[in-house]
Amino acid sequence: MQAAIRIAPADTRDWGRAMAAELTHVEGDWGALMWSLGSAGVLARQALISLIVPGRQGQGVVPDDGLLAKSPTLRNALLTVTGACLLAALFFVASPPFRQAFQVALAPWHALIHHNPQPDFADLARRAGARQDAEGLAFCAIRSRYSWGENVRLADEAVRLDPRLLWVYAVVAMQNPALPETATWVERLKQWDPQNALFYLISARLLKQGRFHEGPPAPEQWQAWQNAMASAFQSAKFDDYLDRVAQITQRVVPRYQLYDPREVDSRTQIDLPHYAFEDSENYARILLADGEKQEAKGDIKTGRERFWSVARFGQLIDSHARTDFERWMGMGLQSAAYERLQASFQKQGDGPQASLFAYLAARFDPGNAPEFPQGSALGMRTAGRNAAVVEMSGLMILIFAGLALAALAIIIAAGRLEGGIVAQRVRPVAIIVGLSSALGILFSTATLYLTYRPYWYIFQSAIQTGDRLPTADLRFFLNDLSAPAGFLPHVLHTLLSALLYSGSPSFLFYVWTGVTLLGIGGLVLIVLRRLRGGPRAHAP
C-alpha cells in the first residue's frame, strides 16, 4: 500500500493514507489483505488515469506531468526500457539474416508502390560488364526479365568472353523460344551438345510458335514439328543446365555480395517451361494412339515400340529431373506408357507382365506421389503464412519507427519549452508513445528475424554447398511474397494470411494491434492536449 501511495497522484494520496489507516482496524489477516489489495487497486487506477489525463478532474489549475513528474525514477525507468528495446532491436539489425529479411519483407511493398515486381539486374549487369566478368553477365542474362533484347546482348557478351558458357544460350532460348536468335543458337548448341533432348524441344516450340495459332498448320510444318519431337524422344540425354546455373550462382553471389534471394532463386522462371510438357504430352499421345492402332492391326511389336519410346523419354526426363515439374512430367509420361503396355499384355493373356506394368503405371502416377512437392520441409501453407508474417513485420517496423521518431521529436521540442504548461502536458504521453513504439519495434524485429531465419539458412546452404533440396521452401516463400494489385487488397490479403493462419487471430494480432493503437492513441492525445493546453495555461 505504501508503494501504491507513492505512485498515486497528489490529490489522491490522502485517500491512500486513509485506506492504509483503516488497515489497523480491519478484522483478520485475510480481511486486511483483501482491504489492502482493493485499496492499492484504487490508487493504481488513479495513477494510471493521472498518467494519461493529468488534471482531468479540474483539481489542479496547473497541470503536471502526472505520474512521471512525481516520479523521476519511473520516468527514467521508462526511458531506460525504451532505450534497451531499441538497442536490442539494433542487435538484430546487425545480423546478416535480419538485413536480408528486412530487404525481402519490404520488397513487395516497394514493388507495390513502384509497380516493379522484379529485382533490377541493370546495376549488376553494369558492374559485371565493367569487370569483364562472363559469369556475372551470364547470371544477369538468365535472370533479368525486363528486356529480352538486353538478355540476348548479355548472353552474347558472356559467351564472347568465355565460350564455355555456350549453354547460357540454351537457358535464355528455353525461356523465350520466339527470340530471333533462337534458331541460330539451337544449331550451335546441337553441335556442342548433340545428344541433348532440350534443343529439340526448343526447336519444336520454335516451329509451333506463332504459326499453329493462326490456323491449321501446313502439312510440312506439322511434319517438321513431329520430326523435332521424334528427335527429342530418341535423344540419349536431357540437360536443362540448371546444375551449371547453380554453379555460377554459387560463384557470382559472393563475388557481388548479393543479399536479395529473389535475385538468386529465380528457378521457377528458369525451370523447363510448360510448353515442353505440353509438346511432349501431345507427341506422346500421338505415339500411344499410333501404337494402339498398330496393335489393332495385329502389329503388336510396332505397337509396343511406340509405347516404349514414350516410356523411355519419361524415364530420361525423370532420371535427369532437377525440378518437381520435370519429375512430374517424366512420371506422367511413364505412367501413361505403362498403362498401354499393361493393356497390351493383358490382351495377350500374359498375366505376370500385365501385373508388372499395372504396378509400374500406379507407381509412376504423379497423382499417387505423396512427396510432391519435392524438397519442401515446411510446406506451402507454412511458406504462405511466413511470407505474410515477414511482410507485416517489415511494415510494422516502419510504422513503429515512425511513431518513435514522432515521439522523440515531441520530447525534444518539449525539452526546449521546459517549464511550459503545454510541454508538461504532452511530454509524459510522448514518453509512453516512445516506449510502446520501441516495444513494437523490438517485437516486430524479433518476429521478422525468427520467421525468416530458416529461409536464410536455406539460402546460405543453396549458395555455399549447392544443395538445392530445400530450396522449394524458399521458392514457395518468395512466390508468396508477390504483391496482388492495389495497396489495400495487398494489405488485407497479407494481414489476413498472417493473422488467420490457425483459423483465429493469433498472438501477433493482439501485439501489433495493441501497440499500434497505444502509439497512435498517444499521439492523438498529445494533439488534443496541445489544443487544450492554450486556454488552461492562462487559468489563474
Where on the chain is the footprint of other proteins (CB under 8 A)? 12, 14-15, 17-22, 24-26, 34-39, 41-42, 45, 57, 59
Helix, strand, or coil here: 27?
A: coil
Amino acid at 111: A
**Smallest gap from residue 31 Cβ to other proteins (A):** 9
CA dihedral 404→409→410→412, nearest 10 degrees, is: 120
Identify which of residues 45 and 347 has a Cβ nearer to other proteins in the complex: 45
Identify which of residues 40 and 253 has a Cβ nearer to other proteins in the complex: 40
Measured from the Cβ of residue 185, the count of other Cβ atoms closer than 10 Å reads 23
**Which residues lie below 8 Å from residue 288, measured CB to CB, with a gap of 6+?**
306, 307, 310, 336, 337, 340
Which of 538, 535, 518, 516 lies closest to 526, judged by CA? 518
Identify which of residues 25 and 416 has a Cβ nearer to other proteins in the complex: 25
Identify which of residues 40 and 397 has a Cβ nearer to other proteins in the complex: 40
**Smallest gap from residue 11 Cβ to other proteins (A):** 9
CA 474 to each of CA 38, 271, 446: distance values in angstroms, whole numbers, following the listed order: 54, 15, 20
Identify which of residues 38 and 83 has a Cβ nearer to other proteins in the complex: 38
DSSP 164: G
Identify which of residues 42 and 356 has a Cβ nearer to other proteins in the complex: 42
**Smallest gap from residue 55 Cβ to other proteins (A):** 13
What are the backbone angles phi and psi of residue 237, rounded to the nearest 5°?
Answer: -145, 165
**Smallest gap from residue 48 Cβ to other proteins (A):** 13
Strand partners, 237: 196
DSSP states of 463-490: HHH---TTHHHHHHHHHHTPPPSSHHHH
Strand partners, 196: 237
**Smallest gap from residue 530 Cβ to other proteins (A):** 27
Q: Tell how far CA 202 is from the center of its chain.
A: 32
**Smallest gap from residue 64 Cβ to other proteins (A):** 18
Alpha-carbon gap, residue 23 to 199, rounded angstroms = 93
**Smallest gap from residue 51 Cβ to other proteins (A):** 17
Identify which of residues 34 and 517 has a Cβ nearer to other proteins in the complex: 34
**Smallest gap from residue 61 Cβ to other proteins (A):** 16
Helix, strand, or coil here: 237?
A: strand
Identify which of residues 14 and 123 has a Cβ nearer to other proteins in the complex: 14
Identify which of residues 50 and 100 has a Cβ nearer to other proteins in the complex: 50
Alpha-carbon gap, residue 473 to 479, rounded angstroms = 10
**Smallest gap from residue 30 Cβ to other proteins (A):** 13
In the structure grid, which three cell numbers stand for residue 477, read together?
Answer: 516463400
Helix, strand, or coil here: 196?
A: strand
**Smallest gap from residue 14 Cβ to other proteins (A):** 8
CA 34 to each of CA 19, 31, 39: distance values in angstroms, whole numbers, following the listed order: 12, 5, 8
Residue 367: exposure state from Cβ atoms within 10 A (0-12, 13-18, ≥19): exposed
Q: In terms of DSSP H, where are the helices of 115-162?
A: 122-130, 134-143, 148-161
Identify which of residues 15 and 256 has a Cβ nearer to other proteins in the complex: 15
Identify which of residues 41 and 351 has a Cβ nearer to other proteins in the complex: 41
Q: How many DSSP H helices and E strands does the chain contain? A: 25, 0
66 within 8 A of 422, measured Cβ to Cβ: no
Which of 473, 450, 535 lies closest to 105, judged by CA? 450
**Smallest gap from residue 501 Cβ to other proteins (A):** 40
Identify which of residues 51 and 422 has a Cβ nearer to other proteins in the complex: 51
498 within 8 A of 391, measured Cβ to Cβ: yes
CA 297 to each of CA 61, 198, 346, 388, 460: distance values in angstroms, whole numbers, following the listed order: 109, 34, 17, 59, 59
**Smallest gap from residue 45 Cβ to other proteins (A):** 8
Identify which of residues 4 and 174 has a Cβ nearer to other proteins in the complex: 4
**Smallest gap from residue 41 Cβ to other proteins (A):** 5
Q: In terms of DSSP H, where are the helices of 1-121?
A: 2-7, 10-22, 29-52, 67-70, 72-94, 96-114
